[in-house]
Structure 1
């Protein structure tokens, strides 16, 4: 059977802290579906085992590094050669692009049966930038996804973004993964990712630091190589989503990039977001505590009309949270929910600057995109909107085996990425982070808005039309 997408291409606290291939898609579609939009990296695309994700290259052995300028240039050249410039209405920005899930599934079936190549229009979901409305169309046994859209372009670093906003476009394979992960996420208590040091590594590091005596004014930077060696590999933990999916790689890449910015391992691209090390330098530190940051959902209450036919999703989408890890003598960690004021200051700054950061590091926009899709898939499933509309989502949910999503090698551990601060009271190690997507909590938070029932202009009675159109 031909596949649509086929090519190589975590425990939480109550507040949400995480524990911490090409058939139907032909060459073009494989390239764009495999692409992980980030400022310095990309995924798959004939680079052998070096699969670039979220600003870093990750191979199956867990080696991690930033993509080189030459690799970025090569990626951009390949994508520009493969992707057609959006034409017609696709080449125009709109506040209201409508996608029919029923017609989209029909189009995918037609492509599958004809053996044709999937075009980038479908891989990029017609340039959709965000899903703002979900509409139940009972008359046509359909569900409509509505939001702003714009033509896309390839940036010099090889990322594919909207021409006007600079934001990553939504992806078909992420939508498919979101639908197929709803029940897995329900069982696992949400979708979670973290990159965590081991207890053994923390214990080794404590032993290493006990033997260190710095002379007055001595720069501790020379110790960092030995400290990282003592710390050892960090473990990648994922829950609620297939670990070999692009969706999962987005979580890992966003977590990794957040950590690099916080710890000054890469320069912050946004003026209003200094590193945590800059904020905390020369402040009192505790060797028994380590700040943890994680990114979580940040949505307004979902609004619905009285009949439950029109649903509105709004809010920034992503916020950064923090708490202190308390490190015991055996290297284990616990938390009592306390927040270090300096770590909280950095978390709030990242939340405030998230939109600006997403334009400079598109992996963070990719993270918001997969959060949006997880919320939409959970909303449709939890509220049984497919049953209310009479649509069978077997293609997107994978019940008919028509679509196979791309599979990535995801290492179980990474080389240590951490920074160290030598403050007035000892060493502080910053190494932990993660992502937590509690889409069920977002969907459960609902308000009724009567005026939403007037949103009917997005429907299209022209059955000869394609699977997307522009509403009014």
Structure 2
């Protein structure tokens, strides 16, 4: 007598798992045989965050084994433990890099990119790899299946239309959070932003424009910490931005440069590795200064005709040669390194009268006066440098909200003497005239920033550097259980770099008063050290309750989407 048996390929543990651990085992069993829809159905029954993370990890690893890298990355996004999630994303990135390239000499359509665009833009959670009903796959006839299972044809005529519809769908999804709107206090979760950029990195993508420009924030108002939610948040005014004629991303309404993610990552790593210290210097060489002294001695034997002024000055610049540029604390090929060098160089050109200042900021040479019978100032080397200028850091009693108080940036000065060999000798003092220029520049910094955005860029760098140093000093990442797996020094986030400047034309100028020649050269740089500004006696507890109130109003909204990282 023959008997018949039915063989089931489903896991032994089914939907009737009675305990969380049994349910997890069911998730793992379904994942092993590729039944991801059932696995997701089971994981939704688990409330314990650690068990849920284990379940999502099991699904993601099975998806990777099946070659579903993008699906594995999306599944990883549901893992709350950032170390566990990071391990999976590193594995996904490595697996993606090992996928062999297509063979043959013909041009093959990039279906993967189109599929990824569809599945990540149109209702991401509705696709098969994440337990939804929809599926999408490339077909040689040019069709695709939407998230509702409907087949659509992609012809040459309608290809742009398809992408337009996807783009429109994205705009609809963002209707509640429109980056085109001005916001008095936009919030950016650094923890969520790190996760989203790491998800993109795992599939070989760079951060979006919104991420790179930190959702359009152009000034830091608060640093907020929510330990119970695992959030570290930057908050400040924001709005739409554009690229100006100098290539800067600036707010359309105010013209202020918006914060840059690359800068934040560079400064975060600097705070962790260099205790927040960084800077640059632009200095003439000793040989150049000696040659300049000899040139002045040789050419001062006879009066200088006004028509000879430009050629004489050019000869002096040639004698001095180019000035050396050095950057410390951050890499000179990063944007941070280049912003501080550019700001320093431009400030010195304003001081020498080679660039126009603003009302209240005449150049050093414009301020020089020679009384009857008097002598012009000696050819000292004027030293000007940018330094931080925060009066205090306001903080709530619970130390979960911080606010920077003060202008942030100032210019300091010193007169340096030259010996016969062209060696610069520090005096640790500044003449009244030299100090006046530095004071004027500091007092009118906002006006100068409006005219020359590079100074606003410098202020952004200083503010972000202070915030990063605060995070490190107060151990705020530990408080929020944030391991900085992508933004930290060992993280995979790659900062854009470009050629680093090493020298620059000498910054010096000359003015003639009463047939007497006033010659001025300048050195200096940028020096940022947050130690004193973040000392305990500089942290002032907010007695008014405004910061506490703003923090409460800025908490992560319950309606934020799974991949959301900013809100108003």
TM-score range, shorter chain: 0.7 to 0.9
* 1:321–1:257 CA distance, 2 compared to 1 (3 A): same
Looking at structure 2, the residues matched to 162 and 230 of structure 1 have their Cα atoms a distance apart, in angstroms, of 43
Q: Which runs of 4+ in 1 moved over 4 A?
A: 84-88, 214-217, 281-284, 421-427
Corresponding residue of 1:42: none
CA RMSD of aligned residues (A): 2.6
Looking at structure 1, the residues matched to 316 and 348 of structure 2 have their Cα atoms a distance apart, in angstroms, of 17
Question: Highest CA radius of gyration, 1 or 2?
Answer: 2
Kept in 2, the 8 Å contact 1:294–1:321? The answer is yes
Instruction: Give the aligned length.
Output: 387
Match for 2:459 among 368, 373, 381?
368
Corresponding residue of 2:279: 192
TM-score by length of 1: 0.76
Kept in 2, the 8 Å contact 1:184–1:241? The answer is no
How far the C-alpha of 1:332 sits from its partner, in A, is: 1.2
Kept in 1, the 8 Å contact 2:280–2:527? The answer is yes
- Aligned ranges 1:33-432 → 2 under 5 Å: 89-186=178-275, 190-213=277-300, 218-219=305-306, 220-268=309-357, 270-280=358-368, 282=370, 284-400=375-491, 402-421=492-511, 427-432=518-523
* 1:342–1:297 CA distance, 2 compared to 1 (3 A): same
Corresponding residue of 2:542: 449
Kept in 2, the 8 Å contact 1:285–1:422? The answer is no
Looking at structure 2, the residues matched to 351 and 412 of structure 1 have their Cα atoms a distance apart, in angstroms, of 27
Looking at structure 2, the residues matched to 347 and 389 of structure 1 have their Cα atoms a distance apart, in angstroms, of 41
- Aligned ranges 1:26-37 → 2 under 5 Å: none
Structure (1/2) with the larger helix percentage? 2
Looking at structure 2, the residues matched to 97 and 176 of structure 1 have their Cα atoms a distance apart, in angstroms, of 19
* 1:159–1:246 CA distance, 2 compared to 1 (3 A): closer
Bigger relative CO (Cα 8 Å, ≥ 6 apart): 1
Looking at structure 1, the residues matched to 518 and 207 of structure 2 have their Cα atoms a distance apart, in angstroms, of 54
3-state SS of the aligned residue for 2:465? Answer: helix
Deviates more, 1:320-329 or 1:372-381: 320-329
**Per-residue Cα deviation, 1:224-258 (whole angstroms, up to 9, x for no partner):** 11111110121112111112211000011111111
**Structure 2 alignment gaps of length 5 or more:** 1-89, 95-112, 114-169
TM-score by length of 2: 0.64
**Per-residue Cα deviation, 1:342-376 (whole angstroms, up to 9, x for no partner):** 22222122112211211221111111111111111
**Per-residue Cα deviation, 1:88-144 (whole angstroms, up to 9, x for no partner):** 531111121111111101111221233345321111000011112111111111211
**Structure 1 alignment gaps of length 5 or more:** 4-25, 27-83
How far the C-alpha of 1:440 sits from its partner, in A, is: 2.5
